[in-house]
Amino acid sequence: MPLPPLQHWTWQGEEGIFAVGFRQQSSEGTGAPVLLVHGFGASSDHWRANIAPLAEQQPVWALDLLGFGSSDKPRSRLVDEPQGPGSVRYCFDLWAQQVADFACQVVQPQKPLQLVGNSIGGIVALRAAQLLSERGQAPGQVILLNCAQRALDDRRAALLPIWERWSRPMVKRLVRQRWLLQPLFRTVARPLFVRQVLAQAYPSGANVDQDLIELLLRPARQAGAVESFRGFVNLFRDHMAPELLPQLELPVRLLWGTADPWEPIAEARSWAESHSCIQELHELPGVGHCPHDEAPEQVNPVLQRWLAA
């Protein structure tokens, strides 16, 4: 189904002024507005199968996080690097601030905003919910779709296979060298490699089409795309969902593909048992890391029901 037109918003963030891409579909429905937050390497286009169905009952917004999609891609600054002209530290606080400012300045909700995030977009949504709550504009709820965090953080490195624990310091050293990183990024940003990753992320193979390949590769061809890729190492020690969840005083719901190779369903079940803010966990057997795109026919009805609550 066709996506709504791409628009741009000028964000005056704490680290500079940036152009941010977004899509918006209005609705004849009266439900509270929804803001969709994509995962790493994706964009607002990744909600291609969800925006129109969700807009049947409420207005829907989807934005491109800084460094991705059609948003600006400023030079990356790692945690211990000095601040340089035009550089940003890609991290959850940066993106959460972007989401919170977008909600206040662009969406301007008359009813409590509802946040939906996939993968690292889930962490961004949780942190943005905190920031909005501090501004007196607490969201109505946060919905997490296969939220990232299982072994992303250095503090959980013990959960990683031993070869990953050994290789992580090397990865951190490698990304500091832009002359080495650029050819690596060119290798990653190729159709064959993307298809190999998608074979893991979409275990059923459903909806892995040329449109998906192109929406992932198109931003990667833009100037500066390597910078957010480089900034990924900042996430090795950043906010974690299990730390954010106890601090929230609003409903959280989990929708999880059980065949996710990176974020196992056991993690979601543990969160549901441990955190009182989690109202519901809906499992999708055989579905992977991006359930909204792999199985929209299963995901959209659940989201519609939750968002109408």
**What domain count does the chain have?**
1
Q: Within the chain, how many helices (H) and strands (E) appear?
A: 12, 8
1 located within any domain: no
139 located within any domain: yes
pLDDT digits (tens, 9 = 90+) for 65-101: 999 999 999 999 988 888 888 899 999 999 999 999 9
161 located within any domain: yes
59 located within any domain: yes
Identify the domain containing residue 87 by its residue range: 6-308
What integer best gives the mean pLDDT of the chain? Answer: 92
185 located within any domain: yes
CB 255 within 8 A of CB 284: yes
CATH code at position 78: 3.40.50.1820
Distances (CA, A) of 9 to 12, 71, 107, 242, 277: 10, 9, 11, 32, 32
Q: Where are the alpha helices (DSSP H) in the chain?
A: 51-54, 92-102, 120-134, 162-175, 178-188, 191-201, 210-220, 225-231, 241-244, 265-274, 291-294, 296-308
pLDDT digits (tens, 9 = 90+) for 176-199: 777 778 888 888 889 999 999 999
Alpha-carbon distance of 282 to 265, in angstroms, equals: 10
Question: Which residues make Cβ contacts (< 8 Å) with residue 187, sequence separation at least 6?
Answer: 193
Q: With cut-offs at 50, 70 and 90, classify the pLDDT of residue 151.
A: low
